[in-house]
Amino acid sequence: MSSLALYRTYRPGRFADVVGQEHVTVPLMRALANDRVHHAYLFSGPRGCGKTSSARILARSLNCEKGPTDEPCGQCQSCLDLAPNGPGNIDVVELDAATHGLVDDARDLREKAHFAPVSSRFKIYIIDEAHQLGPGAANALLKLIEEPPAHLKFIFATTAPDKIIGTIRSRTHHYPFRLIPTKTLQQNLGWICEQEGVPIEPAALALVARAGAGSARDAQSILGQLIAGAGDDGVTYDLAVALLGFTDAAMLDQVVEAISAGDGRSVYAAVDQVMDAGHDPRRFLTDLLERFRDLIVLRAAPDAVAEGLLDLPPEQAERMAIQAARFGPSDLVRLAAVVDEGITAMKGATPTRLQLELVCARLLLPGAEDTVSGVQARLDRVERRLTGGEPLPPAAAPVAQPAPAPVAETLSGVSKRAAAFARVNPPADAPPTAPAATPAPEAAPSVPSAGPAPAEPSAEVVPLRPEPVDDEPASMVEPPAAAEPPAAPEP
Ligand SMILES: [Zn+2]
């Protein structure tokens, strides 16, 4: 491996090699091939996604002796000068507006711009961080851009295109660069590892791509660091997790499975591990939020992995499909919202163990929330218990009674489902007040015999266990239950 940073070694020298920006590079290549080149360009987009590299490639393509061309020949003097890590060319000037607003440079530039290029076809100015141009410099440049000499080209690069003064922006062709999709980044990183002859585990590759957050430069920097610290077996998942501070997938499995089982001890044990290992609680919650997001997608689209919506190794996908089936859809949305609020609450302050534990407490206790989502999460659980896994389809819940009077308007959807609940669980079989009054599980079967109208429980009815979390929806059952017997008489 060379001592040069990876992102410099693998900086693209032609548009075809720019990663993940085809929506920009393809039209640019067409414009070059058809010789419809404008005199001023604006490249905008997040940092590290290829703006400056593309500006240099455009300059190289324009000044190639066989050009202007969409494929610089790579042989002529201009191409060699302007190659990535090449010495540069006197006719291609790079200016950084961030340094001093470019006031002096712009005046100087205005004087020099009228002279013809020394050895190339065009004189090209690449102005980086162009949104930081001071008003004086911008006005000096504006004169040139309004009436440019034929040999002059401008390429502005910026992360904030809306801060460029309108009179300049409106005279440019604007090409917005985007964050690079994780999958594209992953392929690029895998290719680099091949070139470097370093083995890397696919799971580690996925982590690096995720850590790059859409920036090729960031991702390649991280990969360079991992390769530098890799042993004989190359870049392993364990190495990447430890160095990047991500939460191990096994830890997330433990937490999610514990939440689905209401197992507080395991959840707090995981919190203990996170804090003991010196991890950032915010990082842990962010990873947990991503996990819930994946589960929401899996819940809605069980074929998500096969269809490429989720990028997961097969065994992890299998485990997560089981996890997703343990939650109802509104359950998952509520959990994700709680974690999201927790992350927001931690912003600005030093996140503490206490904050993390409070979030976990809310995750474990849907019954503690009297919001609509809390009620829905509890109904999800009841429905899954009744139907053996799958929530009731909405069509199975016709409402016979005229008005759900005591229930608030916003809860009408909930009350319909409560009515369906009452139908499969008739009042004679399980009086609404019974579970709350029953202290122990073994006491529950004795309740029907004590009731005024004993009836055989139907086969699919599962009696409510008197957990504090689950018996509360019983109060929702009361109003429809009163109108129920004529609608669904027992055989
Ligand atoms: Zn050339």
Ligand 1 centroid–CA 78 distance in Å is: 6
Ligand 1 centroid–CA 57 distance in Å is: 11
Task: Assess if residue 322 is contained within a domain.
Answer: yes
| 150 in the same domain as 23 | yes
Average pLDDT, the chain: 77
Q: How far is CA 470 from CA 209, 319, 412, 426, 464, in A?
A: 42, 26, 20, 17, 7
Helix (H, G, I), strand (E, B) or coil at 467: coil
Ligand 1 centroid–CA 423 distance in Å is: 79
Q: Residue 237 pLDDT more than 80?
A: yes
Ligand 1 centroid–CA 385 distance in Å is: 71
Residue type, position 175, single letter: Y
Q: Of 355-369, 384-398, 399-413, which gets the smallest average pLDDT?
A: 399-413
Task: Assess if residue 436 is contained within a domain.
Answer: no
Ligand 1 centroid–CA 64 distance in Å is: 4
Domain count, the chain: 4
| 186 in the same domain as 171 | no
Ligand 1 centroid–CA 94 distance in Å is: 20
| 486 in the same domain as 394 | yes
* 139-141-146 Cα angle (round to 5): 95
Ligand 1 centroid–CA 59 distance in Å is: 11
Ligand 1 centroid–CA 484 distance in Å is: 84
Residue 235, domain extent: 182-244
| 195 in the same domain as 172 | no
Task: Assess if residue 405 is contained within a domain.
Answer: yes
Task: Assess if residue 454 is contained within a domain.
Answer: no
C-alpha 7/C-alpha 115 separation (Å) is 35
Residue 327, C-beta contacts closer than 8 angstroms, at least 6 positions apart: 260, 295, 299, 335, 380
CATH number of the CATH domain containing 313: 1.20.272.10
Strand partners, 41: 155, 173
Q: Which residues surround ligand 1, an ion (CB under 5 A)?
A: 64, 72-73, 76, 79
Ligand 1 centroid–CA 151 distance in Å is: 18
| 70 in the same domain as 10 | yes
Ligand 1 centroid–CA 83 distance in Å is: 10
Task: Tell me how many helices (H) and strands (E) the chain has.
Answer: 25, 5
Q: Residue 472 pLDDT more than 50?
A: no
Task: Assess if residue 314 is contained within a domain.
Answer: yes
| 319 in the same domain as 202 | no
Residue 441, C-beta contacts closer than 8 angstroms, at least 6 positions apart: 465, 466
Token readout for 360 is 């976990």
Domain boundary residue, one of 229, 244, 259: 244
Ligand 1 centroid–CA 152 distance in Å is: 19
Ligand 1 centroid–CA 93 distance in Å is: 18
Say which DSSP state 348 is in: T
C-alpha 215/C-alpha 206 separation (Å) is 14
CATH number of the CATH domain containing 47: 3.40.50.300
Ligand 1 centroid–CA 28 distance in Å is: 17
Q: Of 4-13, 263-272, 382-391, which gets the smallest average pLDDT?
A: 382-391
Domain boundary residue, one of 176, 202, 217: 176
HSE-CB at 363 with a 13 A cutoff on CA atoms is 33
Q: Residue 79 pLDDT more than 80?
A: yes
Q: Residue 455 pLDDT more than 70?
A: no
| 395 in the same domain as 477 | yes
Domain boundary residue, one of 318, 335, 364: 364
Stretch 263-288: mean pLDDT: 87
Stretch 268-294: mean pLDDT: 87
Ligand 1 centroid–CA 13 distance in Å is: 11
C-alpha 419/C-alpha 408 separation (Å) is 15
The three state secondary structure string of 40-75 is: EEEEECCCCCCHHHHHHHHHHHHHCCCCCCCCCCCC
User: Which H or E run contains 152?
Assistant: strand 152-158
With contact defined as beta carbons under 8 Å apart, do 63 and 120 qualify?
Answer: yes
Token readout for 147 is 């009436």
With contact defined as beta carbons under 8 Å apart, do 98 and 129 qualify?
Answer: yes
C-alpha 319/C-alpha 114 separation (Å) is 67
Question: If you count them, how many residues does the chain have?
Answer: 491
The percentage of residues in the chain with a pLDDT greater than 70, rounded to a whole number, is 75
Ligand 1 centroid–CA 62 distance in Å is: 9
Ligand 1 centroid–CA 77 distance in Å is: 7
| 99 in the same domain as 172 | yes
Whether the CA torsion 234, 236, 238, 239 is positive or negative: it is: positive
Q: What is the pLDDT of residues 48-71, one digit of tens each?
A: 889 999 999 999 999 999 878 999
Ligand 1 centroid–CA 61 distance in Å is: 7
| 328 in the same domain as 276 | yes
Banded pLDDT at 1 (limits 50, 70, 90): very low
CATH number of the CATH domain containing 235: 1.10.8.60
Helix (H, G, I), strand (E, B) or coil at 247: coil
Ligand 1 centroid–CA 73 distance in Å is: 4
Ligand 1 centroid–CA 56 distance in Å is: 13
Task: Assess if residue 439 is contained within a domain.
Answer: no
Ligand 1 centroid–CA 345 distance in Å is: 55
Q: Of 109-123, 143-157, 458-472, which gets the smallest average pLDDT?
A: 458-472
Q: How far is CA 290 from CA 246, 253, 355, in A?
A: 12, 12, 19
Q: Residue 368 pLDDT more than 70?
A: no
Ligand 1 centroid–CA 84 distance in Å is: 13
Q: Residue 458 pLDDT more than 50?
A: no
What 190-198 contacts at long range (C-beta under 8 Å, 24+ apart), as own/partner pairs, is: 192/6, 192/10, 192/220, 192/223, 193/223, 193/227, 193/234, 193/235, 195/10, 196/1, 196/6, 196/227, 198/1, 198/227, 198/230, 198/234, 198/235
Ligand 1 centroid–CA 33 distance in Å is: 14
| pLDDT for residue 25 | 94
Task: Assess if residue 434 is contained within a domain.
Answer: no
Q: What is the pLDDT of residues 150-204, one digit of tens each?
A: 899 999 999 989 988 888 899 999 999 988 888 889 999 999 999 999 999 998 9
C-alpha 135/C-alpha 144 separation (Å) is 15
With contact defined as beta carbons under 8 Å apart, do 345 and 355 qualify?
Answer: yes
| 171 in the same domain as 83 | yes
Task: Assess if residue 240 is contained within a domain.
Answer: yes
| 274 in the same domain as 403 | no
| 347 in the same domain as 291 | yes
Banded pLDDT at 461 (limits 50, 70, 90): very low
